[in-house]
């Protein structure tokens, strides 16, 4: 009798062990999340526990510039076993009393992103060349970095406005972006124009087609790289990781359309937004972008492949707005597999709230496979 009991116990132990083994994800997965500042603790606890059990490792949470929000939600996320990062836009800033209207970027037609933003009302980009802008951002990020519950700071909109829009968005904005147009090209503020002149001897305002001038491109890549690296240095002093959501590439997309030379950024993780439908591409393209990213980052910091999820798969075909497109459940396994096989350290979902039951079913398996 005793032998049987021991035997049964052993079998149970083996079973429990193997179940546990099966339930541990092999793919590290982050998720971008927002709009839960007002949710109560019980709802957040339930939500975060679900994400953890599905296989999510950490959250990039956009809670605005409010340290108290990150403190409360961060505590609940940590209790659920999740990493927690504050996801806060960098160059895009709504005007507040802390920001002077003269700090906003100026386009090639001399218009300010403050009162004449490109494409959409919220595209109020600051000029990355202004010391006042750096000081404002430093103060804001360091205040957040003091929150004990945070693992890191996640930059977004750390770039210029899209001088060329991703092709999948042309219809939405009724544009054909066959070249760079001055109304979408930044920054031509006095400081940028003068600094460039001093550096190269060229008056950019007198150049007929600034898009052909390599030095002018590099000048603006460097402005973004410089502000990233300066902010990163300060934030890391507070023992927080620094990560960024970036455009794919960097060479094929990010540098070309938003002037992000992110292979030169001194940060801890890069999360390229491989939103294939915005570029009218399939999941193979996601793999190609991961390969390019890994090759570009010779220092081997981890690349997390950002995946854009379709919130209503059954009506995707009829949906005109690309914001409602994205990966269908039947594409998700491929998208994850393409990412990991091409060198990504993991993935990041945009967003878990857009995931349908069918998406979760595919996800659960896909992040637990051996690649």
List interacting residues with Zn ion (CB under 5 A): 127, 129, 187, 189, 192
* Minimum CB–partner distance for residue 34 and Zn ion (Å): 29
* Residue with smaller CB distance to Zn ion, 33 or 113: 113
Closest approach, Cβ 106 to Zn ion, in A, equals 6
Closer to Zn ion at the Cβ: 123 or 360?
A: 123
Tell me how far apart the alpha carbons of residues 273 and 248 are, in angstroms, rounded to a whole number. 6
Angle subtended at Cα 32 by Cα 220 and Cα 359, rounded to the nearest 5 degrees: 130
What is the torsion angle, in degrees rounded to the nearest 10, for the CA atoms of residue 176, residue 181, residue 183 and residue 186?
Answer: 130
33 SS3 class? strand
| Integer Cα distance of 46 and 41 in angstroms | 9
Kindly tell me which of 192 and 294 has the beta carbon lying closer to Zn ion: 192
Residue placing its CB nearer to Zn ion in the complex, 157 or 363: 157
Specify burial of residue 286 (Cβ count, 10 A radius: 0-12, 13-18, 19+). Answer: buried
Residue 231, Cα to own-chain centre: how many angstroms? 17
Q: How far is the CB of 162 from Zn ion (least distance, A)?
A: 17
Q: How far is the CB of 205 from Zn ion (least distance, A)?
A: 13
Of 99, 105, 42, 94, give the one whose Cα is nearest residue 64: 94
Instruction: Tell me how far, at minimum, the Cβ of 129 lies from Zn ion, in Å.
Output: 4
Cβ nearer to Zn ion, comparing 192 with 244: 192
Q: Residue 16: which residues within 8 A CB-CB, separation 6 or more?
A: none
Beta carbon of residue 234, minimum distance to Zn ion (angstroms, whole number)? 22
CB 277 within 8 A of CB 325: yes
User: Considering the complex, what minimum distance in angstroms separates the CB of residue 218 from Zn ion?
Assistant: 15
- CA pair distance 215, 272, nearest whole angstrom: 25
d(CA 288, CA 280): 14
- Among residues 192 and 271, whose Cβ is nearest to Zn ion? 192
Q: Which CB sits closer to Zn ion, 34 or 101?
A: 101
Residues 90, 192: Cα–Cα separation, whole Å: 19
């Amino acid at each position: 009798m005793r032998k049987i009991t021991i035997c049964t116990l052993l079998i149970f132990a083996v079973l429990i062990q193997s179940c546990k083994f099966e339930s541990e994800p092999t793919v590290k997965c982050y998720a971008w999340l927002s709009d839960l500042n007002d949710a109560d603790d019980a709802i957040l606890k339930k939500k975060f526990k679900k994400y953890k059990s599905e296989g999510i490792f950490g959250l990039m949470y956009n809670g605005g510039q409010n340290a108290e929000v990150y403190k409360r939600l961060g505590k609940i996320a940590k209790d659920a076993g999740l990493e927690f990062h504050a996801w806060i836009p960098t160059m895009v800033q709504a005007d507040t009393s802390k920001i002077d209207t003269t700090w906003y970027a100026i386009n090639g037609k001399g218009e300010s992103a403050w009162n004449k933003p490109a494409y959409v009302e919220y595209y109020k980009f600051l000029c990355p060349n202004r010391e006042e802008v750096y000081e404002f951002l430093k103060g804001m990020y360091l205040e957040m970095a003091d929150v004990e519950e945070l693992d890191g700071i996640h930059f977004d909109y750390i770039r210029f406005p899209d001088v060329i829009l991703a092709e999948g968005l042309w219809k939405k904005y009724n544009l054909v972006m066959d070249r760079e147009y001055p109304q979408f090209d930044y920054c031509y503020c006095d400081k940028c124009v003068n600094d460039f002149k001093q550096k190269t001897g060229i008056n950019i305002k007198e150049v007929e087609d600034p898009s052909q001038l390599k030095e002018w491109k590099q000048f603006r890549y460097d402005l973004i790289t410089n502000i990233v690296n300066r902010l990163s240095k300060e934030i890391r002093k507070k023992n927080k990781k620094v990560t960024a959501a970036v455009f794919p590439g960097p060479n094929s997309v990010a540098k070309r359309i938003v002037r992000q030379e992110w292979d030169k950024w001194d940060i801890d993780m890069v999360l390229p937004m491989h939103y294939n439908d915005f570029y009218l591409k399939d999941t193979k393209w996601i793999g190609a972008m991961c390969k390019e990213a890994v090759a570009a980052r010779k220092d081997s910091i981890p690349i997390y492949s950002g995946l854009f999820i379709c919130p209503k798969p059954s009506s995707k075909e009829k949906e005109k707005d690309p914001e409602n497109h994205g990966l269908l459940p039947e594409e998700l396994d491929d998208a994850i597999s393409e990412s990991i096989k091409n060198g990504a350290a993991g993935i990041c979902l945009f967003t878990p709230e857009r995931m349908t039951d069918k998406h979760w079913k595919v996800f659960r398996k896909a992040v637990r496979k051996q690649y």
